């Protein structure tokens, strides 16, 4: 693969190790000790969580992989944002719980699904899927995955609503920043003239990453 292709894939793992997705110890300490409204810090933590969220970035990259028009990118990113915003807020503020390993396994499956779709797998099977609905639904699971990272932390009820809303705003800002880098990487890749020829290999690799995430999370579920 070209250097541009590698750059595009590297954008999925900005500043984090592959398995480092969660609430860092120092961040958890802040969340536990904080009292009252803290808009700035919560926005920062939300943005940080998104740009270090390899699973979210991998799915987002898969979603926009073959989108060339700005309005199409905007539509699908908005659907994803709406989905994960709803379940993040409802999951934390509404106290709706689920096993985090199972939710993250579905998040990993979303990555594999999108790569398989990009490879024309569903078309070859004669299966028609509403891609917009799929992105929205998987967005709901991604947001719930974010919520499960915050639920075990003893966050003060003082200023809780404002803080979680701020966290969600930070997530959106982080998503836009990550999206800009991914789009820039894809544009460099496309300018090389090798985007189409390497698209199969890239999506095959992305699908493998998705299934690896599923296996990792299911292992954690059965060993917990």
What does the pLDDT look like over 43-81, one tens digit per residue? 999 999 888 888 999 999 999 999 999 999 999 999 999
Average pLDDT over residues 180-191: 92
Contact criterion met (CB below 8 Å) for 65 and 186:
yes
Domain boundaries, the chain: 3-223
pLDDT at 146 over 80: yes
Taking the CA atoms of residue 66, residue 112, residue 121 and residue 60 in that order, the dihedral angle to the nearest 10 degrees is -20
Rounded to 5°, the CA angle 177-43-76 comes to 40
CB 183: neighbour CB atoms within 10 A?
A: 17
């Amino acid at each position: 693969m070209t250097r541009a292709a590698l750059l595009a894939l590297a954008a999925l793992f900005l500043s984090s190790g592959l398995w480092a997705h969660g609430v860092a110890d120092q961040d958890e300490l802040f969340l536990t000790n904080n009292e009252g409204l803290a808009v700035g810090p919560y926005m920062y933590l939300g943005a940080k969580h998104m740009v270090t969220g390899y699973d979210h970035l991998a799915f987002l990259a898969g979603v926009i992989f073959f989108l060339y028009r700005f309005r199409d990118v905007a539509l699908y990113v908005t659907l994803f944002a709406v989905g994960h915003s709803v379940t993040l807020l409802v999951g934390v503020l509404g106290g709706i719980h689920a096993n985090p390993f199972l939710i993250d396994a579905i998040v990993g499956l979303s990555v594999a699904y999108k790569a398989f779709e990009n490879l024309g797998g569903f078309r070859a099977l004669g299966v028609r899927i509403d891609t917009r609905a799929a992105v929205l639904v998987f967005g709901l699971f991604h947001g719930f995955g974010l919520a499960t990272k915050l639920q075990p932390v003893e966050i003060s009820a003082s200023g809780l609503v404002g803080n979680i809303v701020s966290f969600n705003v930070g997530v959106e800002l982080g998503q836009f920043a990550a999206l800009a880098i991914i789009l820039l990487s894809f544009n460099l890749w496309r300018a090389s003239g090798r985007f189409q020829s390497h698209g199969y290999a890239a999506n095959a690799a992305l699908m493998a990453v998705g299934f690896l995430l599923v296996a990792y999370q299911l292992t954690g579920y059965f060993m917990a």
